[in-house]
Chains A and B, each alone.
Chain A
């Protein structure tokens, strides 16, 4: 039967544990991890085609980053993370299929981590909500586990698979009321999945964050929210970050006559549009989209040739400003 991997992983672990791995095995191992990571990255990106890593080439970047992170040297030993995980893995790995599944599991986790890093860079609110959700997971004595490369929140580790895992679209359409009380939100959703649906009781982490973004960000962004002392809401945060970006536009480009007053006005209005998208779901990859939402006076060609680099820089700055403001609230 032609189902076996062409090169075996268990002997590679034997070499790794004894510090005798050669270049050929190293290359095979790196390439094998990369192929798994790429397959997993494509799955993530197919689910969320609007985000930063939007093409197959970007999926490859995500996969390379994941493998590089997995094999990043600790105390000069590039395999230390893998060897340590191998030794601690339960049940003990003694067969080729167990070794292959172990590698698969490690790679899936790393891809998921890199995906979160990418989303955090792309969307400043993502990291903040993720942090808040992690806090809730601990507080509610829940666990995070992985299934088919995706991260899920569950009551206990996933042992066996009974029932379908909820897909992102179905999760997005769950009743809003379930998410209203932040402190018991995760338990509410898990109970709802278990009792009211046919789905396996596990919350897909990424879909949860998107759902929160579309309901009401504030309880997840600011600790003080429930004490009603909050003075700095998401809208104000966007507004302050926008103003800082506009100041930069004025000082570095308008005053130095690199951007005309008329074009600067278009930029300012488009950044306000962008702010709404950042709050609600994330930026569109095509930046000109935001310009054409507010004006038809600046053609795409003129934008690309004269202003794209400036606009891209200001967009990055805008996101950085939001991220800094968010850090101040943590």
Chain B
């Protein structure tokens, strides 16, 4: 007798299923769909959630605290796999052409540093244009940090600061 839990265990806890049952599940075609179903669930449980998925959960479940940390590395627009350009902001007269962008591995968070003659302005974006709230920026290698309540305004950073990597931590 094979139960749904046997098939569940076959995928998630194989040591719990007897050899006889394993043989039955593997050889009898009637269980193929169930095995496929739980295999796809297992794949889901093994992956990491994206920034946007965590934000969606936090928006609906108050006691789920979204406190992930993301690393952003420099990239140029030519790096984008699908050829899409990320238009961070329209350039104004103060800005030089040496703006640098940093992108998270999941391609969901973008920081753009725009140098002006006296300082650098750092803009943070989420790729789906949602507002980012309560986050800490850390600039590497110096490990200088800035606490931010929102990404609605740019962060003003010293012009001489060298930045190789940015961490964003949501608190």
**Footprint of B on A, CB under 8 Å?**
1, 3-6, 23, 26-27, 30-32, 34-36, 38-40, 42-43, 60-61, 64-65, 67-68, 71, 78, 95-98, 100-101, 104, 147-149, 158-165
Smallest CB-CB A-B distances: 6 pairs: A39-B44, A68-B60, A39-B41, A97-B13, A160-B1, A35-B44
Q: CB-CB < 8 A to B3: which residues of A?
A: 159-161
- B21-38 contact mask (Cβ, 8 Å, vs A): 1 or 0: 000000000110110010
- The answer on a CB contact under 8 Å between B44 and A26 is no
Q: Are B5 and A101 in contact (CB under 8 A)?
A: yes
Distance between Cα atoms of A111 and B111 in the complex (Å):
36
Instruction: Tell me if B49 and A35 are in contact (CB < 8 A).
Output: yes
B47 CB within 8 Å of chain A: yes
Q: Could you tell me the distance between the alpha carbons of A165 and B34 in the complex, rounded to whole angstroms? A: 10
Q: How many A-B residue pairs have CB under 8 A?
A: 108
Interface residues of B in 55-78 (CB under 8 A from A): 56-57, 60-65, 67
Is B139 in the interface zone, CB < 8 Å from A?
A: no
Query: Would you call the interface of chain B mostly helix, strand, loop, or mixed?
Result: helix
Across the interface, do A35 and B47 meet the contact criterion of CB distance under 8 Å? Answer: yes
Q: List 27 A-B contacts (CB under 8 A).
A: A3-B12, A4-B13, A23-B65, A27-B64, A30-B61, A34-B49, A34-B57, A39-B43, A43-B37, A64-B57, A67-B61, A68-B61, A78-B63, A95-B16, A97-B16, A101-B8, A104-B8, A104-B41, A148-B34, A149-B37, A159-B1, A159-B3, A161-B2, A161-B4, A161-B30, A162-B2, A164-B30
Closest Cβ neighbor of B49 among chain A residues: A31
Give the distance in Å from the alpha carbon of A78 to the alpha carbon of B33 in the complex: 34
Known: A1-B14, A64-B56, A67-B57. A36 touches B45 (CB 8 A): yes
Contact status B45-A60, CB under 8 Å = no
Chain A residues with Cβ below 8 Å from B63 are: 26, 71, 78
A30-B61, A101-B8 given; A96·B53 CB < 8 A: no
**Is the CB–CB distance between A97 and B34 below 8 Å?**
no
Query: Counting CB contacts under 8 A, is B145 at the interface?
Result: no
In addition to A67-B61, A68-B61, A161-B3, 4 A-B residue pairs with Cβ atoms within 8 Å of each other are A3-B14, A23-B65, A36-B44, A100-B8
A199 to chain B, nearest CB (A): 10
Q: Is the CB of A97 within 8 A of B9?
A: yes
Q: Which residue of chain A has the shortest Cβ distance to B53 in the bound complex?
A: A60
A3 surroundings in chain B (CB, below 8 A): 11-15
| Residue in chain A with minimal CB distance to B9 | A97
Residue B40 at the A interface, CB < 8 A?
A: yes
How distant is B130 from chain A, measured CB to nearest CB, in Å? 13
Closest Cβ neighbor of B13 among chain A residues: A97
Residues in B neighbouring A65, C-beta threshold 8 A? 60
Q: Which residues of A contact B34 (CB under 8 A)?
A: 148, 161
| Complex CA distance for A25 and B112, rounded to whole angstroms | 35
CB distance from A27 to the nearest CB of B (A): 6
| Bound Cα distance A31, B50 (Å) | 11
Within B72-117, which residues are at the interface with A (CB < 8 Å)?
none
A100:B13 contact, CB within 8 angstroms? yes
A35 adjacent to B45 (CB under 8 Å): yes
Residues of A within 8 A of B41 (CB): 35-36, 39-40, 104
Residue on B nearest A31 in the bound complex, by CB: B49
Min distance, Cβ A279 to any Cβ of chain B, angstroms: 32
**Chain A residues within an 8 Å CB radius of B64:** 26-27, 30
B31 neighbours in A (Cβ, 8 Å): 161
Check if B14 sits within 8 Å of A34, measured CB to CB.
Answer: no
The chain B residue with its CB closest to the CB of A164 is B30
In the bound complex, CA of A32 to CA of B46 (Å): 9
User: How many Å from the CB of A166 to the closest CB on chain B?
Assistant: 12
Residues from chain B with a CB closer than 8 A to the CB of A67 are 57, 60-61
Known contacts A40-B41, A164-B33; decide if A34 and B53 are in contact (CB<8 Å): yes
- A residues less than 8 Å from B7 (CB atoms): 161
